[in-house]
Amino acid sequence: MEPFVKKNQSILSIDSWTSQFSDLAVGFTTKNGGTSEGYFETLNLGFHVADKITNVCSNREKVAECLQFPLNTWVGAEQTHETVIKKITRADRGTGSDSYEHAFKGTDGFYTDEEGILLTLCFADCVPLFFIAAERRMIGIAHAGWKGSVGQIAKKMITAWGEEGIKPEKILAAIGPSICEKCYIVDKYVINFVEKTLDEGGALTYNLLNEGQYTLNLQELNKQILLASGVLESNIMQTNFCTSCNQEDFFSHRRDKGRTGRMMSFIGWKEK
């Protein structure tokens, strides 16, 4: 069953989590319901793609109102396709919420156990990863393109939570809308990194297409990394949405040849 359920034209929600926790906002945006134009039509939430800043801020305000999560409580990251993860506190609220310049530098993942903070990251094909350990009220998100995936940002989140005293088997994870295997073709250079990442016995995450060309399943790669990190298979949910296939709902960097907007992953505990 698809874990990401469309609530309106702009928002997909992880219903199985929000049904358990009424004070949790968690999900992924579509590209619809905003004010941006041209390549960024219409709900572009990325500051760094040459869209008008006023449109991006307007779009973010729309999402903030929809989620009932004020923009000044959001945090955002520079997202450099690396594996740095930052623990967020209430003192960080607003960082990167209304400009790219003020976002957390060199960061591709966030986690927190405090309420009144919306963790956000932007996407247009890369894999959004979501994490929750309900007993400890710990939540997190990460951005996993091929570099972040082979760098094992998923494992780094599990490790960071382990240092907080949270065991892997207590963690729920969700793999969100991203480019599918048939749409994501890479060369041997990338596959060499993938081969070094996977443990022996893990599921194969790529297939030879032509000489020097491979299809790569980034979602499955991240699932295998989570499993190898001790997360239970029954605690991992995986979407069926491909950002490249589904042109009506999603921007896609690969499909749109780099001229496109950004969707947003988000997770946060609302203030009671």
pLDDT digits (tens, 9 = 90+) for 174-197: 999 999 999 999 999 999 999 988
Q: Alpha carbon 40 to chain centroid distance?
A: 19
pLDDT digits (tens, 9 = 90+) for 99-127: 999 999 999 999 999 999 999 999 999 99
Q: 162 and 136 in contact (C-beta within 8 Å)? A: no
In this structure, the dihedral spanned by the alpha carbons of residues 77, 37, 252 and 71, taken in order and rounded to 10 degrees, is 30
* Cα angle value 168/171/173 (rounded, 5°): 120
The residue count of the chain comes to 272
Q: Map out the domains of the chain with their CATH numbers.
A: 4-179+218-269 (3.60.140.10)
Q: Confidence class of residue 203 from pLDDT cuts 50, 70 and 90?
A: confident
- Which tokens is 165 given? 């005293």
- Given a cut of 80, whether residue 255 has pLDDT beyond it is yes
Three-state SS at 201: coil
Average pLDDT over residues 2-29: 97
Please state the φ and ψ torsions of residue 14, each to the nearest 5 degrees: -85, 90
